[in-house]
């Protein structure tokens, strides 16, 4: 084992054994590593001869597959040799469009063994999106599950001249694509012919690129985020937040196309020496997933807000869960969801904050007292502050942009930068990485999320946090989702408008609108209460399930240009009599 690998394990063991949060924050420091390939230097040493399960795969068709660490070590060696023979070189960028499977883990490990750079791609991307990613990502090699091969073929000239196109059987899909051969594509099963020992012909420096992620693009065209080989080290903080221990079975509900899959379906469990659990389904359903969590004895679970909203609508008391730690990241949790999860599971769900650009940087760590509405406290290894437009640190309880200190020590796992020099100049300033998120912090060091800088708006000179209003709306028993934007009222004033998705048993009627406006007037402060509500069947979302506020704003602006209301939009003023609102003269 290399000296740098020993430093990594020492840092890992410190966080696994830290007695409390205060000790972890006070004494954890990032190791200085120069030559480190997480797969070659750490995973290989951990996996060789290790008969513990590395991955448990199941699906909604009743199929289950398992692979041990040693088997995965050998399989990834075969794939690494296969890639070398296919012409892959250190630094080549590899686009992957695959669903969760045993094979995806083999391939990820093999690409890193070969010095490649992975760019995950969500399966919902169009051929046009694929062309954009191949061009902007300077792609050399593609891995695709066979049902997605035709998408790449429709990308046309962009796939011509690539080093290798590799088609992977998708055993979940029962159609001709499972066994079909595609012109110009190499079948992944060719890797079976290669030896199970692999030796690299290069050195990996910690500053070499490792992952590149296209952001989900809620407000603008997706950016390409670049991470180097310090990225898995940075996820030691994520491991500490989740609370996973050696030998646990960890389940992360996330799509392979996004950074969160790499966070918590790869680095979190394997940093700790735990087993990855993964489920394949054509469409997410709460009941089969909950049944699997019970059946396979999941110890630690990470799921986004959208999933927890579905879980709490189920009768969770009928399951015999083994769950010890449950966490959520991706979108801020509202207090109502936290309350319902605690009520139904008897466990406090712990929130975490991070970005595609970072690892877990704020969160509720085991033993930290929970304060309603807060994101939690600063992660070990991070130094955070809140700054104003001139980068002055704001006082307690004042809004400011979340800023991560990068001088004199930059946290490991923080992005190298974007593929856009102008954007890099905006985010790296004065010794800070500027996250683009607004929050405030109380005297005890707890952070409270306000919103993306682009989302926060003023109404009658009051600052409105969409997230804050949405959290209050979510308390209503009929509401399953809420999204708040600014709009103009009949007098040209900027006021909040709430888009609402109701639970299936409720109808978007005038009577329901009155019920909600009554609730709003009784529960929400006058300056921030929505004066318009519009019911929707579903919100426009990114393929990572984040609400596309820019689309809601654009839709609303078109309505207002034509002086119209939406089909299921209601004004508070329409209920003046029922709500006892006095008309202004």
Q: Which two tokens stand for residue 538?
A: 């579903």
- Alpha-carbon distance of 40 to 47, in angstroms, equals 10
pLDDT of residue 218: 46
Superfamily of domain 37-47+69-227: ANL, N-terminal domain (3.40.50.12780)
Q: Tokens representing 200?
A: 């690299």
Mean pLDDT of the region 380-386: 96
**Which CATH superfamily includes the segment(s) 455-575?**
ANL, C-terminal domain (3.30.300.30)
- What's the pLDDT at 550? 80
Over residues 548-559, mean pLDDT:
86
Question: Lowest-confidence range among 29-43, 347-361, 435-449, 459-473?
Answer: 459-473
Candidates 306, 299, 245, 259; CA nearest to 277 is 299
Give the residue-averaged pLDDT of 178-203.
Answer: 92
Helix, coil or strand: residue 191:
helix
Q: Can you tell me the distance from the alpha carbon of 120 to that of 130, in angstroms, rounded to the nearest whole number? A: 11
Domain borders along the chain are: 37-47+69-227, 455-575
Q: CA 150, CA 171: separation in Å to the nearest integer?
A: 17
Measured at the CA of 171, the angle between CA 168 and CA 174, to 5 degrees, comes to: 115
Predicted local confidence at residue 375, as pLDDT: 93
Query: CB 522: neighbour CB atoms within 10 A?
Result: 8
CA distance 106 to 97: 14
**Cα 190 to Cα 167, 197, 302, 392, distances in angstroms:** 10, 16, 35, 58
Strand 479-488 to strand 494-502: parallel, antiparallel, or no bridges (unpaired)?
A: antiparallel
In degrees, rounded to 5, the angle at the alpha carbon of residue 362 between the alpha carbons of residues 410 and 22 is 90
**pLDDT given at position 333:** 85
- Over the stretch 101-155, which tens digit does the pLDDT of each residue have? 999 999 999 999 999 999 999 888 889 889 989 999 999 999 999 999 999 999 8
| pLDDT tens-digit series, residues 388-426 | 999 999 999 999 999 999 999 999 999 999 999 999 999
CB 109 within 8 Å of CB 39: yes
Tell me: pLDDT of 451 over 90: no
CA 409 → CA 262, 349, 383, distances in Å? 24, 31, 9
Q: What is the pLDDT of residues 226-252, one digit of tens each?
A: 999 999 999 999 999 999 999 999 999
Tell me whether residue 525 is exposed, middle or buried, using C-beta atoms within 10 angstroms of its C-beta: 0 to 12, 13 to 18, 19 or more.
exposed
**Cα separation, 334 vs 407, whole angstroms:** 33
Task: Answer whether 149's CB lies under 8 Å from 167's CB.
Answer: yes
Site of tokens 């990613």: 133
The pLDDT tens digits for 301-313 are: 999 888 898 899 8
Read off the pLDDT of each residue in 1-14 and give the average, rounded to a whole number. 96
Rg of the chain in Å (alpha carbons)? 25
Q: What percentage of the chain reaches a pLDDT higher than 70?
A: 96
User: Do strands 432-441 and 400-405 pair parallel, antiparallel, or not at all (unpaired)?
Assistant: antiparallel
Stretch 475-494: mean pLDDT, rounded?
87
| Percent of the chain surpassing pLDDT 90 | 71
Instruction: With beta carbons less than 8 A apart as the criterion, state whether 322 and 277 touch.
Output: no
What local confidence, expressed as pLDDT, does residue 219 receive?
Answer: 46
> What pLDDT sits at residue 585?
45
CA angle 31, 243, 447 (to 5 degrees): 80
Distance CA 585, CA 582 (A): 9
CB 290 within 8 A of CB 311: yes
Cβ distance 565 to 279 under 8 Å? Answer: no
Say which residue, 296 or 452, is predicted with more confidence: 296
pLDDT at 298: 98
Helix (H, G, I), strand (E, B) or coil at 468: helix
Per-residue pLDDT at 67: 98
How far apart CA 534 and CA 529 sit, in angstroms, is: 14
Averaged pLDDT score across all residues of the chain: 91
399 and 463 Cβ atoms separated by less than 8 Å: yes
Closest CA to 155 of 163, 165, 256: 165
Asked whether the bond before 408 is cis by omega within 30 degrees of 0, the reply is yes
Q: How many residues does the chain have?
A: 585
Per-residue pLDDT reduced to its tens digit, 317-361: 999 999 999 999 887 888 888 999 999 999 999 999 999 999 999
pLDDT, mean of residues 179-201 = 93
CB-based contact 328:349 (threshold 8 Å): yes
Tens digits of per-residue pLDDT, 35-88? 999 999 999 999 999 999 999 999 999 899 999 999 999 999 999 999 999 999
What kind and span of H or E run contains 108? helix 102-113
pLDDT category at 584 given cuts 50, 70, 90 is low
pLDDT tens string 523-551: 888 878 899 999 999 888 765 566 777 88
CA distance 375 to 362: 7
Let me know: does 302 contact 328? Beta carbons within 8 Å: yes
């Amino acid at each position: 084992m290399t000296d740098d690998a020993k430093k990594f394990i020492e840092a890992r063991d410190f966080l696994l054994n830290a007695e409390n949060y205060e000790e972890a924050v006070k004494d954890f420091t990032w190791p200085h590593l120069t030559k480190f390939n997480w797969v070659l230097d750490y995973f290989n040493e951990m996996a060789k001869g290790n008969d513990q399960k590395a991955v448990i795969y199941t699906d909604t068709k009743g199929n289950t597959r398992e692979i041990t660490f040693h088997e995965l070590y050998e399989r990834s060696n075969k794939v690494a040799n296969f890639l070398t023979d296919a012409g892959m070189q250190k630094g080549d960028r590899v686009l992957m469009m695959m669903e969760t499977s045993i094979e995806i883990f083999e391939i990820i490990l093999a690409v890193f063994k070969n010095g490649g750079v992975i760019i995950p791609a969500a399966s919902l991307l169009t051929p046009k999106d694929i062309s954009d990613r191949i061009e902007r990502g300077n792609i050399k090699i593609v891995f695709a599950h066979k049902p997605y091969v035709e998408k790449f073929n429709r990308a046309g000239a962009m796939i011509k001249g690539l080093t290798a196109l590799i088609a992977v059987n998708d055993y979940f899909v029962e159609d001709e694509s499972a066994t079909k051969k595609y012109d110009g594509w190499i079948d992944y099963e060719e890797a079976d012919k290669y030896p199970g020992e692999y030796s690299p012909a290069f050195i990996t420096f910690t500053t070499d690129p490792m992952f590149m992620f296209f952001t989900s693009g809620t407000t603008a065209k997706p950016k390409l985020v670049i991470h180097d080989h310090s990225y898995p080290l940075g996820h030691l903080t994520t491991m500490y937040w989740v609370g996973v221990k050696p030998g646990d079975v960890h389940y992360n509900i996330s799509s392979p196309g996004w950074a969160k899959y790499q966070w918590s379906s790869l680095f979190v469990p394997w940093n700790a020496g735990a087993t990855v659990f993964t489920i394949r389904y054509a469409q997410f359903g709460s009941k089969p997933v909950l049944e699997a969590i019970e059946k396979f004895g999941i110890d630690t679970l990470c799921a986004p807000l959208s999933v927890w909203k579905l879980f709490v609508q189920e009768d969770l008391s009928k399951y015999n869960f083994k769950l010890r730690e449950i966490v959520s990241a991706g979108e801020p949790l509202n207090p109502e969801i936290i309350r319902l999860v605690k009520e139904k599971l008897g466990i406090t769900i712990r929130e975490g904050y991070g970005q595609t650009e970072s690892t877990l940087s704020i969160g509720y760590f085991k033993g930290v007292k929970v304060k309603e509405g807060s994101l939690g406290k600063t992660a070990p290894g991070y130094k955070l502050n809140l700054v104003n437009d001139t980068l002055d640190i704001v006082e307690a309880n004042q809004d400011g942009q979340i800023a991560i200190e990068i001088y004199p020590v930059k946290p490991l796992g923080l992005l190298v930068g974007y593929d856009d020099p102008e954007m890099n100049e905006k985010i790296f300033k004065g010794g800070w990485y500027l996250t683009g998120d607004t929050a405030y912090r109380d005297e005890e060091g707890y952070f409270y999320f306000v919103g993306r800088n682009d989302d926060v708006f003023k109404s009658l000179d009051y600052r409105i946090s969409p997230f804050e209003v949405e959290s209050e709306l979510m308390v209503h028993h009929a509401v399953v989702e809420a999204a708040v934007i600014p709009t103009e009222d009949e007098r040209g004033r900027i006021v909040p408008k709430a888009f609402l998705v109701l639970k299936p048993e409720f109808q978007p009627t005038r009577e329901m609108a009155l019920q909600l406006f009554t609730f709003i007037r009784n529960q929400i402060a006058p300056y921030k209460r929505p004066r318009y509500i519009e019911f929707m069947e579903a919100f426009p979302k990114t393929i990572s399930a984040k609400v596309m506020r820019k689309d809601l704003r654009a839709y609303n602006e078109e309505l207002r240009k034509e002086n119209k209301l939406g089909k299921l939009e209601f004004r508070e003023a329409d209920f003046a009599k029922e709500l006892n609102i006095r008309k202004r003269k």
